[in-house]
Every structure is written in C-alpha cells, then in structure tokens.
Amino acid sequence: MIVEVGHFALVLALAMAIVQSLVPLWGAARDDEAMARVGAPTAVAQCLLVTISFLALTWAYMTSDFSVENVVANSHSAKPLVYKISGVWGNHEGSMLLWVLILALFGAAAALFGRDMPLKLRANVLAVQGMVSVAFLLFILATSNPFARLVPAPAEGRDLNPLLQDPGLAIHPPLLYVGYVGFSIAFSFAAGALISGRIDAAWARWTRPWVMIAWIFLTLGIAMGSYWAYYELGWGGFWFWDPVENASLMPWLSGTALVHSIIVMEKRDALKVWTLFLAIVTFSLSLLGTFLVRSGVLTSVHSFATDPQRGVFILAILVIFIGGALALYAWRAPMLKQGGIFAPISREGALVLNNLLLSACTATVFVGTLYPLALEATTGEKISVGAPFFNLTFGPLFLPLLLIVPFGQALAWKRGDLAAVTQRLIFAGVAALILVGLLWAVTSGESVLAILGAGLALFVIVGSIGEVIGRVWRKGVSLPLALRRAVGLPLSAWGTAFAHAGLGVSLLGLAATGWGVEKIVTVKIGEIVPIAGYEVRVRALEPRAEANYSETVAAMDVLRDGVKIADITPSKRLYTTRQMPTTEAGIATIGFGQVYVALADDAGPDRVGMRLYWKPLVLLIWIGSLVMAFGGALSLADRRMRVGVARRAPARLAPAE
C-alpha cells in the first residue's frame, strides 16, 4: 500500500504542477492577485507530494519489496542498509525521482523565502518552475516509472552495480543534483523577469543566493565525483574528460560566470541582459547534461536510435525549454533598460573578461563533448576526444583566467587603477617566481608545465589572501586593530578570497601530478618495492567472503626508511549476483600526498601483480574545491547580500569592495 500511495502522490504532484504553471501565470497577466497567489501553495503541495513519493520508494528499497520492478533491478536483500537507501538514486528511474524532488524542494523554498518579492515576479517565477516540474514528472510517469510492479515477485533482486556500492553514491548524486537543479531557480527568475517584461530592482539580490547555493553544491558534487572515480575505479586518475564529467563541468563553468556577472548586476546595475542570458544558458546546460547522461546517447548513438523513447522525450524537453527561453529572450531583452556604466579597467571590466573566458571555456567543452556524438550520428564514424584536445584548447583559455583572478579581486568598482593594483600584487608575483626558481633548481628543469603551474597557483593563492590582508594590515598598524578590521571586513570579501585561494590550491594539486611516479610490478609475498622515497611490502594474500561479494585482499605495509608508517589493503572483489569484478585501491595518505596501490589480475598463488603510484599533493585538488565551496558559503552568509550594502571607500586602507 505504501508503494501505491507513493505512486498516486507522484501523479497528484503532476496535477499540482500543472495548476502551478498555469494559474499564477494567468493571474499575473490579468492582474488578479488571488490567482497570482496560487503559485506558492501549489509549489509547497507539489513538494510535499513528491517527498511522499520519494519516501515510499525508499521504503520499498529498505524493506526489499521485490514486487517493485525498480527494486528488483537494483537491489539485493543481502546489501547493507546504507546501500539499499543510496540504491534508490543509483539507477535511472530513482535518480530522476531525486531530480524532481530537488526541483520541487527548490520551488517550495523559492515560494516560502520569496514572500517579499513583488507578487507578479513571484507568480511568473513559480509558474516557470512549475513548467519544468510538469515536464520531468511527465517524463518519469511516461517513460521511467519507478513504481512499476512485478507480479509474481521474484525472491531476490539483481543487485546494484558494484561500482556504485560505495559511500560515494550516497553523497555524490544528491550534491550534484542540488547543483544542477538549483540553477533551475535562476532560469525561472530569468524567464519570470522576461515574461513580466521588466527586471525588478532587486532581481539580482533575490536570484543571487539561489545561484550561490547551486554553485556551491555543484562544486562539491563535481569534486566528490572526481575523488570517487579516483579511488573506486582503480585507475589512479581523477578526471578523464569523459562526456559524463563534461556534462557537469559545463554548467559549472557557465554557473561560475553567472556567480560573477550577477554581482556586477547587483552592485552596479550593469550587465543585466547578459546575466539573464547566462542564467538561461546555465540551466540549459544542466538540462543538456541530464539528456547526455539519461538518454543513453553516450553508450552509443545507435543504442539511442534503437530505443529512443526516453532520449526523444528529454530532447523534446530540451528543445521546448531552451528554445522557448531563448525566444522569449530575443523578444523581450531589447526592451529591458540598461544601467551602470564603467571604465574598461575596473572590477566590472575584469568580471566581463572573466565571463568572456569562462564562456569560451564552456564552448570548448561543449564542442569537445558533442562533436563526436554529432559525427557518429551523421557519418557513423567513431572518434574519441580526450585529454589531448582539452589540454590544447581548454588549458590556454583557463590559465590566463587564473592569471587575472588576483587583479580582478583587487580592482575597484567603476574605475580602477591597474598600476596601483599591479604594485600591490608584486609581492605575490615575486613569491611565485621564487617558487618557480626553486623548483627548477631542485628538479633540474623537468616537467616545465608542472613548475609553471605551481608558480601560477602560488600567485593566485598569495594574491587572493594578500588582497584581504592588505586591506586590514600594513606597516605600523597594531595587531589588535588589524584583527578588528579583519572581523569588520564584509564576509563576502573573505568569501572571494577563500574561493579564489581554493582555485589556486586545486591548481597546485593539479600541477603536482607532473611529479607523480607510476610503477607496474609483479612481486612475491614479502618482497619490497621502492617508490619515490617510500617502500611498499606485501605481507600476505588472503581470501575473504562477505554477504554479497567475495574478495582477495593483499595486506601491505608502507614503509619509510624501513619503518612502517601505514597499512593498506587493496583488493579484488567479485560481486556474486552480477558476477562482476571490481578493484578496490589501497591508499595511504602521507601529508597531502598519497601512495596508491591497485591490484592487477591474478598473477599466481604467492605473487601479486599491481600498479603503484606516488601522487604528491594530490589531496590538494579536492581540498581546493572544499575551500572554494567554503568561500561561496561565506559569501552566501553575508548579511549585506540581503540588505545590500554598497559602500564607498571610507579610507585608503580598505578600497571599495
């Protein structure tokens, strides 16, 4: 009964979403306040209903209800409870339900927190949000119903793909989806403003928190996904320029541009039309990512052609929403008033440059991801576009962007002084040059790119943090005063500094991959393999059996100077139900670096084949992302974001923010 209640709730949510997308729109168009007010309660009702539905499916998973087809296909009664729960979104149908749940949560949140918005805008925003819900609820019910029943029920499920039986699955998709779907609010705000035909005074202020939340979660989601791939797939890589990864990178790049341009709009009332466009593009790229991942088009263009139902449906959603929004944009945007003028050398100018470069990066990834698909669809030729393409195109666009980050942060609004800023950044530049020189001497000029990358990373870190320090301290200022000033500094200034420094930290981790060491060896038990100043000793090989898999575990010691510093247990697993082997890497963290061991196939009873890596500073890649997200959270927490302080520089010490 619980299952069927969940099913009915989902259908009822569709009905509510239809009301939500029609009535407020009509009310706003004919100035009927009561009808315009219908948006908020229907958004809340829709959210509650989808929540009931999601909980019902989760319940079916937790109790191993094999009369539900989706549970049979993706669960197993012997699976640990946490993976039964995360299994809910470890498959197509369930993950779409999670998608719609997050969409509905954002819709309800916008309805509840948007009480002080002009009613007309709020009605239009919620109506557009409702339309997105209608599309995806229809998609679920028509092509991917997680509540389909199976009679008679089999005794056991087919188990979840073992690669997904990992804490990573519990965390990664929800984070990523909050990011993806969070941009729907920005989209709805943009479409709402375009429908109203005017941008309300505080549009940017209302939209920015949602964009910020989405960006924070998308950042965390991508970082989490990358770390998961790193330790779970056993290849030792963390980013493969795989279309699925690119699908999440594209909205992140344009979302990053949006986070910046919306600041210009909020503070200076400029770049309005461009910001609306970015809001539309960012969510469109989220939709595109959903299409790429969910239609099966990536497995093969041909498998898509033989079973096109789902793909065609999402493609239709894509065309209607992107096409509709862009048409609306083309029609309405010219009517919007432009505001705020600024000199080319200014904070705004730097942000425009940032937006240009980020847009170009997005376009690069877009082409690299879709061109092979288009080529295969039209000529049948299969090509693979991988790291070499992106290193040659994405790299040259992204590196200059990093170079201007500290400059943009230090420039004043409206009209900046480049010479003064450069003077302030000299310290960071010198620090970077010293690092490059030192590294050059130590490594005798090997891996030039890594050295230059590390230098650039240090420049970004020192430049970002230094800018804040420069605002609170200089020679002659006492420590207590500096501290008081630091506390008085707006949180958003700290947020900027942290986010930018995080970028530098990630870059440092990426640059350090240039000094990584890789070895492929086969050793006897007891043998010692040296790697980059450490040693790995294989202690024993032991078989082990768990409820839903059996494995061969290699117990190993990591030694430094003959002294044991860590225990690792890489293993090869065989998941019984699916007869699918997986490799569990053994990872020892030493400082920010890691010794990473992945077992190869059986080499014999007392021999172990393995791939060994020393990955210096590798953790910085993900720590940097955390720092970035923390910066975003600081900026989100700033009270001014809500009351809107745009203050003039009271003293030379604290230049205009």
Partner 1 sequence: MIWALFAALTVAALALALRPLLGAAGGGAAARTDADFYREQLAEIDRDLGRGLLTPEDAEAARVEAARRLLAVAPGAAGPTAAPARAARRLSALAIAVLVPLLAVGVYLKLGRPDQPDLPLAARKSDDPAKLDLVAAVAKVEDHLRRNPNDGRGFEALAPVYMRMQRYRDAARAFSEAARLLGETPDRLVGLAEADIFMANGVVTAQTRRTLERALAADATYAGALYYLGLAAEQDGDTAKAVSLYERILGSAAPDDPSYAGVRRRIAQLKGGDAAAAIAALPKDDQQQAIRAMVEGLAARLSENGQDREGWLRLVRAWSVLGERDKAKTALADARKALAADAAAIGALDALARELGLEG
- Among positions 351-390, residues that touch partner 1 (CB under 8 A) are none
Tokens of 316: 């239709």
**Least distance (Å) from partner 1 to the CB of residue 580?**
14
Decide whether 374 or 645 has the Cβ nearer to partner 1: 645
Q: Is 516 left (phi over 0), alpha (psi -120 to 50) or beta?
A: beta
Residue 379 has a CB neighbour count (10 Å cut-off) of 9
- Three-state secondary structure call for residue 517: strand
Decide whether 64 or 409 has the Cβ nearer to partner 1: 64
Q: Does 326 bind partner 1 (CB under 8 A)?
A: no
Residue 210 has a CB neighbour count (10 Å cut-off) of 25
x/- track of binding to partner 1 for residues 481-520 (CB under 8 A): -------x-x------------------------------
Of 104, 119, 276, 627, the one binding partner 1 (CB under 8 A) is 119
* C-alpha to C-alpha distance for 47 and 107, rounded to whole angstroms: 8
DSSP string, 211-234: HHHHHHHHHHHHHHHHHHHHHHSS
Q: Does 31 bind partner 1 (CB under 8 A)?
A: yes
Decide whether 108 or 211 has the Cβ nearer to partner 1: 108
Residues of span 87-116 touching partner 1 by CB under 8 A: 116
CB 97 within 8 A of CB 54: yes
Decide whether 146 or 453 has the Cβ nearer to partner 1: 146
Residues of span 597-656 touching partner 1 by CB under 8 A: 639-640, 642-648, 650
Can you say whether the dihedral through the CA atoms of 132, 137, 139, 142 is positive or negative? negative
Q: According to DSSP H, which parts of 339-417 are helical? A: 347-379, 387-410
Q: Does 336 bind partner 1 (CB under 8 A)?
A: no
Of 51, 63, 161, 303, the one binding partner 1 (CB under 8 A) is 63
Place of tokens 């593009």: 281
Q: Does 81 bind partner 1 (CB under 8 A)?
A: no
Decide whether 123 or 285 has the Cβ nearer to partner 1: 123
Q: Does 5 bind partner 1 (CB under 8 A)?
A: yes
Q: Which stretch binds partner 1 (CB under 8 A): 4-12, 401-409, 424-432, 449-457?
A: 4-12
Q: Which stretch binds partner 1 (CB under 8 A): 38-46, 410-418, 511-519, 526-534?
A: 38-46
**Cα dist. 485→348, 440, 489, 490 in Å?**
25, 39, 6, 10
Q: Does 335 bind partner 1 (CB under 8 A)?
A: no
Of 21, 54, 58, 65, the one binding partner 1 (CB under 8 A) is 65
Q: Does 475 bind partner 1 (CB under 8 A)?
A: no
Q: Which residues pair with 582 in a beta bridge?
A: 573
Q: Which stretch binds partner 1 (CB under 8 A): 59-67, 276-284, 442-450, 563-571?
A: 59-67
Decide whether 79 or 615 has the Cβ nearer to partner 1: 79
Please give the span between the terminal C-alpha atoms of the chain, in angstroms, as a whole number. 58
Query: Under 8 Å CB-to-CB from 605, ≥6 apart: which residues?
Result: 541
Of 25, 27, 216, 219, the one binding partner 1 (CB under 8 A) is 27
Q: Does 32 bind partner 1 (CB under 8 A)?
A: yes
Residues of span 393-422 touching partner 1 by CB under 8 A: none
Query: Under 8 Å CB-to-CB from 418, ≥6 apart: which residues?
Result: 345, 407, 411
Decide whether 266 or 467 has the Cβ nearer to partner 1: 266
Of 161, 200, 360, 486, the one binding partner 1 (CB under 8 A) is 200
DSSP 321: I
Tokens of 92: 């197509």
Q: Which stretch binds partner 1 (CB under 8 A): 31-39, 306-314, 387-395, 460-468?
A: 31-39
Query: Under 8 Å CB-to-CB from 280, ≥6 apart: which residues?
Result: 187, 190, 191, 322, 325, 326, 329
Q: Does 310 bind partner 1 (CB under 8 A)?
A: no
Q: Is 19 exposed, middle or buried (0-12, 13-18, 19+ CB in 10 A)?
A: middle
Residues of span 136-195 touching partner 1 by CB under 8 A: 141, 145, 147, 149, 151-156
